[in-house]
Amino acid sequence: MQARITNLPDEDHVMRFVPWGRLRKDEDDNVLGFLGDAFKLKPNEDHLSVNWLEYLVIEMRKYKPRLGYSEIPWTSVEKALSELVM
């Protein structure tokens, strides 16, 4: 079970996954933003799920050797996340 964090430092960042069908797109399928539905609670939910980016970077460094996903460019992923949180 994942830990539930209720307070984050103001300088930290969160990110929410939004499925393709809940993104606002133009006629050429270029993403313009997201639809309000992306933030509606499901009937059995009492909160929205998000990812804490600073924590994610720490966890990736800690567990990536055990994940077995050698085809994933971890250095690129870590760099992108680090740039987001700086």
Question: C-alpha angle 69/70/71, rounded to 5°?
Answer: 90
Collect contacts of 6-9 with beta carbons under 8 A, ≥24 apart: 8/52
At 12 the pLDDT is: 81
- CA-CA distance, 36 to 6, in Å (whole number)? 23
Count of H helices and E strands in the chain? 2, 4
Name 24's bridge partners: 33
Q: What is the pTM of this model?
A: 0.53
pLDDT tens per residue across span 9-62: 888 888 888 899 999 999 999 999 999 988 899 899 888 888 787 777 666 666
